[in-house]
Amino acid sequence: MSSILVFGASGQLGQCLARVAAERNLPGLVLLSSQQANILDPAALRGVFEQHRPQYCINCAAYTAVDRAEDEPEQARRINRDGAATLARLCQEFGATLLHVSTDFVFAGAANEPLQETDAAAPIGAYGLTKLEGEQAVAALVERHFIVRTGWLYSEFAHNFVKTMLRLGRERGEVRVVWDQVGTPTYAVDLAAALLHIIDTGSTAYGLYHYSNEGVTSWYDFAVAIFELSGVPARVVPIRTAEFPTRARRPAYSVLDKSKAKQQLGLSIPHWRVSLQQCLRRLG
């Protein structure tokens, strides 16, 4: 493995990258929190590049508070667009390959079949818009780039749907979950392994890719599976999105087509239930 800088390393995906690298005894990973390397500080970031001279950078740093982004669009834009652009410029200057993580929220959610990389993006909220702007900046500013869209991330780390459901199920015994939003859960450990696979194989198939686990489900059915596989005796009540209003709209359909990633990057992708079982075992 080459020298790899991971930005936003204290977040969910960053912690999963650290775990996968440790389990596989992969050298060269430099894990940088926002305190150690703030992507909004170009001068400090240049110092990091000069110190490490990376061959690869993985950008996990992002503004991900979907609802709050509606009230703080410029702060979301500073991180998701401007921070990504700064990283891209430095990667281009130092000859590094940038792996940039994006989101299914770049789509409107009006489709009814798996979304391909060539499908038109049409974000319906500030978070999705600023992430799309970040994609565009990366594609324009650094030649060697992999932009990887994902969605419905969960793991043993940080705050996520699986951990929230387990907590609420134990505390309340009943949860209300929307059934009319459809997508695919993504175990962040699997995404981390996919990113490291791209680096380990030395792929030069640069461009835009989709990655989630295999399969399709709703948030309601995902919650049912969480309780079924964990043995937590909680009841799940299906509700419509309109019964659970949020500040930001969510895509109703965000199933990602992974054909390109499998064919061009040689990725083998597990089904979401298999990965959920692994996560629940690790959560104990």
Residue 127 a catalytic site member: yes
d(CA 278, CA 266): 22
Nearest to residue 261, comparing CAs of 184, 207, 217? 207
> Given the DSSP bridges, would you call strands 145-150 and 153-154 parallel, antiparallel or unpaired?
unpaired
Name which of 138, 186, 158 is nearest 283 in CA terms. Answer: 158
Q: Are 128 and 106 contacting, i.e. CB atoms less than 8 angstroms apart?
A: yes
DSSP 51: H
Contact 192, 281 (CB under 8 A): no
Cα separation, 17 vs 180, in Å, equals 32
Distance CA(181)–CA(193), nearest Å, equals 27
Residues 168 and 175: beta-carbon distance below 8 Å = yes
**Candidate list 56, 127, 209, 253, residue with the active-site label:** 127
Q: State the Cα–Cα distance between residues 187 and 148, nearest whole angstrom.
A: 14
Q: Are strands 97-103 and 186-187 parallel, antiparallel or unpaired?
A: unpaired
Which helix H or strand E contains 6, and what residues bound it? Answer: strand 4-7
Strands 56-59 and 29-32: unpaired
Catalytic residue numbers?
127
